[in-house]
Amino acid sequence: MHIEISGSNKKRTHKCTIRNIYKTETAIVGANIRRKMILGIDVSTSITGFALVGDGEILHYSACDLRKHKGTFAKAEKIKEYIEDLYEMYQLDNDSFVGDAKFPIDKIYIEQPLMMFAKGRSSASVIATLTAFNGIVSWLVYELFEIEPEYISASSARKKAGISVKRGQKAKEVVLAHLIEHEPAFNVEYTKHGNPVAGSYDKADAIIIAKAGYTIENT
C-alpha cells in the first residue's frame, strides 16, 4: 500500500503498511467520558509493529517494514515518518485539520527490549542494537506525542492477556493463534505456502502490548 502525506510545505511518501481496522470517535453510550486510547509498539530493527486499543477493543494495527533500510539511522528516519503518520491520523482533527482529535492517544506502551541472552537467537551485539533502537523509537514517540512511554516485558504482556506459552511452544505462534481465535477484528494474510505474511507476528505482539497497557491503566 502506498501512502502519500501532504504537509503545509512538504510532501513525502513511504511504503510502510498502515491498516485501519476501524477508527471510531464516538462517545461511550450513556457516559460522559471518552475512550481510553492506548498505543502499543513492538520494536524491532526488521519489522516494528503498532497497535491502538480503545476501550479494550482493537482500533488499529499495522507494521513498518525496515528490512530494506540499512543502518540504524536509515531505519530511524523511516520509522520517524511512520510515527508522524500515526500522529496525524489519531492526534489531529482529520475532519477540519485544525486542533486536536476528540479521542487522542492517552498512553504509549513499548515492549521492553531483550535483557538477557536467548539460546540461538540473541547475542551481545543483537541485544545492544535492539536496546539502542528501542531508545530511538521511545524518543521519537515522546518528542511527537509528548507522552513518556511505559515499558512492559513480552511475558508480562502475554500474562495480562491471559496467554500461556507452554514449554516447547513458540511464543509468537501462540500469540497469533490466540488473536485469530479471540479477536474478530484481527485478520492474517498468508503466503502461497500457507505461512503468515511478514509483519503478522509483529502486529500481533503490538496488539498484546496495547491490550496489556489498557489493562494496567484500568486496574
Q: What is the CA radius of gyration of the chain?
A: 17
Three-state SS at 65: strand
pLDDT of 21 over the 50 cut: no
Q: Residues, the chain, total?
A: 219
- Max Cα–Cα distance, the chain, nearest Å: 54
Residue 192 CB burial class (10 angstroms; 0-12, 13-18, ≥19): exposed
- The DSSP annotation for 108-148 comes to EEEEPPP-S--TTT--HHHHHHHHHHHHHHHHHHHHHH--P
Amino acid at 100: D
Q: What's the pLDDT band for 127 if we cut at 50, 70, 90?
A: confident
Q: Which domains does the chain have, with CATH numbers?
A: 3-217 (3.30.420.10)
pLDDT at 155: 94
User: What local confidence, expressed as pLDDT, does residue 100 receive?
Assistant: 67
Residue 22 has pLDDT above 90, yes or no: no
- Residue 63 burial (CB count, 10 A): 28
Q: Which long-range contacts (CB under 8 A, 24 or more apart) does 135-144 make?
A: 136/72, 136/76, 136/79, 137/41, 137/43, 137/48, 137/79, 137/83, 137/110, 138/110, 140/76, 140/79, 140/80, 140/83, 141/39, 141/41, 141/83, 141/108, 141/110, 144/83, 144/84, 144/87
Give the model confidence (pLDDT) of 171-219 as tens digits: 999 999 999 999 999 999 999 999 999 999 999 999 999 999 999 998 8
pTM of the model: 0.81
pLDDT of residue 36: 83
| Least confident range of 2-6, 100-104, 114-118, 132-136 | 2-6
The mean per-residue pLDDT over the stretch 38-61 comes to: 95
pLDDT of residue 143: 96
The arrangement of strands across the sheet holding 57-65 comes to 57-65, 47-54, 37-42, 107-111, 150-152
C-alpha cell at 212: 496489556
Question: In angstroms, what CA-CA distances link 156 with 56, 62, 153, 162?
Answer: 17, 22, 5, 10
pLDDT at 144: 95
